[in-house]
Amino acid sequence: MKKYVRPLLYGLLALLVLAQLYRPTRNLSNDQTSHVTTKYPVPAEVEAILKPACYDCHSNLTAYPWYAEIQPVASWLAGHVDEGKRKLNFSTLTKRSIAVQNHKFEEIIEMVKEGEMPLNSYTWTHGDARLSEQQRQTLVDWAQANMDSLSANYPADSLVMKRK
Ligand code: HEC
């Protein structure tokens, strides 16, 4: 071993140990006051897809796996949850404007059709989030039905996102 290798390894080990002291805030508020189900019908077969495949990153309640305790994985996962929730939060969806709600359903259709959601890395450890073609179609149809009901019940211009 070269002389500097051992101190370097110890240094890295110390960093890894220190990193464990940093605990990202957990997404456990479970505030569901404006959950998607308060306004839209969510049939059991849709909930059976959303819950295992989407809610961990897109709601106010994440079911954390044991390895979420360990850094640097903890920070990596926390980043996904933060960013996921910022883009789409099923727990707060119905307090957003009608245009935003409409747009979120549109994005869900896009992401699910293209196979971009759920995040690929998530499905390595969450087998029940690997969606079949039929499950994808169920989600797409559900989001489309919600868009249809919005356009039947609200004036067209209230469904358009205003550009700033
Ligand atoms: C492991 C965490 C994770 C899971 C699980 C997950 N997402 Fe995401 N989602 C993200 C992140 C992070 C982003 C933002 C980055 C991006 O767009 O790739 C995102 C973005 C999105 C967007 C885009 C919103 C926008 O404003 O652009 C939609 C729609 C979406 N997800 C829907 C879903 C649906 C539907 C599911 C379940 C089938 C799902 N996601 C599962 C983490 C996740």
How far does CA 19 lie from the centroid of its chain? 25
Q: Confirm if 122 and 65 have CB atoms less than 8 A apart.
A: no
The widest CA-to-CA distance across the chain, in whole angstroms, is 74
Q: How many angstroms is it from 84 CA to the middle of ligand 1?
A: 5
* pLDDT reported for residue 73: 95
The residue to mutate among 36, 67, 75, 88, having the most atoms of ligand 1 within 8 angstroms of its beta carbon, is 88
HSE-CB at 134 with a 13 A cutoff on CA atoms is 2
- pLDDT tens, position by position, 62-108: 999 999 999 999 999 999 999 999 999 999 999 999 999 999 999 99
- pLDDT tens, position by position, 4-56: 999 999 999 999 999 999 999 999 999 999 999 999 999 999 999 999 999 99
Q: Atom 11 (ligand 1): residue with closest C-alpha? A: 84
Q: How many angstroms is it from 89 CA to the middle of ligand 1?
A: 9
Q: Atom 14 (ligand 1): residue with closest C-alpha? A: 84
Q: Atom 6 (ligand 1): residue with closest C-alpha? A: 118
Residues with CB under 6 A from ligand 1: 53-54, 56-58, 80, 83-84, 87-88, 107-108, 111-112, 117-119, 122
Tell me the CA distances in angstroms from 98 to 79, 114, 137, 156, 164, one per residue in order. Answer: 28, 25, 24, 11, 17
What is the C-alpha to C-alpha distance for residues 52 and 69, in angstroms, rounded to an integer? Answer: 20
What is the C-alpha to C-alpha distance for residues 15 and 148, in angstroms, rounded to an integer? Answer: 53
